[in-house]
Structure 1
């Protein structure tokens, strides 16, 4: 499974034609304690860079953007009752949504893990 990252601190795991999207550990640290998450509904069509989800913390509310275009196949229902999963497991159980990839070519503009670490080091 390949993992990609965006400059907006989202991660994307790609397996076949399906991508799982969440926010990075760096992003959840910046947000602080997450108290609410709204994920997209199955069937929603997302565009690359478009609003996909909302995350609210004790510090701020932020939009989560879709790193690539596609159709949502599942939102992480566990986050509705346990938004703190975003803090405790941001790059595993705290994922936001899964989608069917519309254009794998859109992955080419995303960073790999080494590039993302370097990006964060410069912040």
Structure 2
């Protein structure tokens, strides 16, 4: 009987780092989720700003080379902003993959911890 108890004790120590790893990946996943939420909010805010304010930058009362240069630069700026928003959208997709992987690793360590 005594040997059986010490065998179980040895098995419990098979993954002594499991509780720490579970907590570590849980904190990582929740931190990344918070970052993702912030980025999504800012992407939405930037898109809304562009949608609401780009039309205000146009005026049919203006004409000439100066106005044409202005319109060209404004359009370039809008394209750059939209391009940056697209890049942040792709970043969010990659960030979600990292969150999923952190959750998967947390589950793996949870399973290892329960095996002990």
TM-score normalised per structure 1: 0.18
Larger radius of gyration: 2
Q: Which has the higher contact order (CA 8 A, sep 6+)?
A: 2
Specify which structure has the higher proportion of strand. 1
Q: Tell me the TM-score normalized by structure 2.
A: 0.19
Query: Which is richer in helix?
Result: 2
